[in-house]
Amino acid sequence: MVSSGVSANRLELLQVAEAVAREKQIDKDVVVAAMEEAIQKAARSRYGAEHKIIAEIDRQTGETRLFRAFDVVEAVEDEATEMTLADARHSDPEVEIGGEIREPLPPIDFGRIAAQTAKQVIMQKVRDAERERQFEEYQDKVGQVINGVVKRVEYGNVIVDLGRAEAIVRREQVIPREQFKTGDRIRAYIYDVRRETRGPQIFLSRTRPEFMGKLFEQEVPEIYDGVIEIKAVARDPGSRAKIAVQSHDSGVDPVGACVGMRGSRVQAVVGELQGEKVDIIQWSPVPATFIVSALAPADVVKVVMDEDDRRIEVVVPDDQLSLAIGRRGQNVRLASQLTGWEIDILTEDEESQRRQDEFRQRSELFTNALDVEETIAQLLVAEGFTSLEEVAYVELDELSSIEGFDEEIGEELQARAVAALEAADAALVEQATELGVEDGVRAIDGLTPAMMVTLGEAGIKTLDDLGDLASDELIDRKDGILKAYNLGEDEANAIIMAARAHWFEDEETPEAPETAEEAAAPAEDQA
């Protein structure tokens, strides 16, 4: 191919380049550049591999020119590729150091082996360019649904012919119990495209939540137009799914639009997903409302939220428990994935029993700690008091205004609560001492006696032990040593810095100069 382009009709070279470019759908310049490289390689085999050979093909006429190039340097180290400035200016009086001198070489006729080598170089460059084009084309399609034909199935992995490239649906990305055979049409979601030596690897999925979202986008024009937005999707592939949608137009019902006339739109999606049951839920910016909707078809009586841990407790009627949890926990698990909240489900009986247990425990706490009758303790619990600290430090009016109490009783209760807390703190300080917690640690502001015991039990007993910690080691919500005390990051940092303070006490501070002359003198002179 190259031999005929160089030694015969010059335009034939360009025609070949154009034909290859058109067939492989790559830029013609890429093919011509590959030809130039092939000619250079063949020329080096004739003139010597040590030389720097440059080949140029005129993009208009197809004329091929060969040059031997020299870099212009101050001192020549390689005579085959370098030239001094003085020698270079014999050829080009205006050349400078760092420039290049080119000497024309006569055109060459390729031998059979050289021509074959050149052809291999060209084909390799063309293949590389084709792979790069494929990578860029499909990289831009990540996040889209694409159609293809099953080429073969290997160990559960489905190889898909996309027309100009191949893709793979790995076994775990195929819907359970779904079977494909050669020649089947397949629709899947492109989730990754990677460069590899054998060409771009295109990875498809039929199990990802995004696949279902894209199917709804194709079936529901309002989603495609942006009137309805898909806020979240959760799937148990092949079994059940939940999708949360929101309408940006008050006149459009997002759930109804996704269901379609007589369920036509949702059924089209269900059919593609092998009968996967789909619950369509209206999204709400209010977490409690959204979570209640996500647990459908179960009815919810009450919710209790912990926003810090993104955890919610849901109370359902006794006969709705199995419906709320779902088969093998599927309904509550999908609702949790959809909303991003941990969901605990209780029946009304369980919640009532727990309330009774909490009421009894708090009543016993107040009865024993305050040395009061059970009736008074129950009154405190009924009014919402849950701890001795609340009784000790609440405004006196809140105690004295309880039915049957007066100011004198309120003062007495607060005094007893303070005494009980002080006694408990003293016991904790003694326990911390027995654990070996140093006096310096116990003196740090912000550390309660209970925290000191927790630190001692974790082996943090000295200022150095505490100073070596990072704030997240203290307060991380999963495994922080003091996670139970709800400290903020600033409080944790203050405690750690207080523990580190003694590290800097022994550092020498420079003496103040006695005179202006000493202040102006260089540091080494003062030394």
**Alpha-carbon radius of gyration of the chain:** 40
The single-letter DSSP state of residue 71 is E
**Which CATH number applies to 435-504: 1.10.1740, 1.10.10, 3.90.1170, 1.10.150?**
1.10.150
Strands 240-247 and 228-236: antiparallel
Residue 82 reports pLDDT greater than 90 = no
pLDDT exceeds 50 at position 6: no
Residue extents of the structural domains in the chain: 2-132, 141-207, 435-504
**What is the chain's mean pLDDT, rounded?**
83
Residue 233, pLDDT score: 94
Q: Calculate mean pLDDT across residues 305-320.
A: 86
DSSP at 257: H
Residues 225-229: what's their mean pLDDT? Answer: 92
CB 142 within 8 A of CB 204: no
For 358, the 3-state DSSP assignment is: helix
Q: What is the pLDDT of residue 274?
A: 87
Q: For residue 345, give the nearest of 318, 324, 323 by alpha carbon.
A: 324
Summarize the confidence of residues 153-177 as an average pLDDT: 89
In the CATH hierarchy, which fold is given to the domain comprising 2-132? N Utilization Substance Protein A; Chain:P; domain 4 (3.30.1480)
Query: Which tokens in the block code for residue 415?
Result: 């005094």
| pLDDT higher than threshold 50 for residue 7 | no
Per-residue pLDDT, 10: 58
Nearest to 331, CA basis, from 277, 267, 287: 277
Least confident of 98-112, 152-166, 243-257, 261-275: 98-112
Per-residue pLDDT at 381 exceeds 50: yes
- CA nearest 131: which of 26, 23, 21? 26
Q: Is the overall model pTM greater than 0.95, yes or no?
A: no
Name 64's bridge partners: 57
pLDDT value of residue 5: 38
H or E segment at 210? helix 209-219
pLDDT confidence of 523, banded at 50, 70, 90? very low
The length of the chain, given as a count of residues:
527
Least confidently predicted of 17-26, 37-46, 99-108: 17-26
CATH class of the domain defined by 141-207: mainly beta
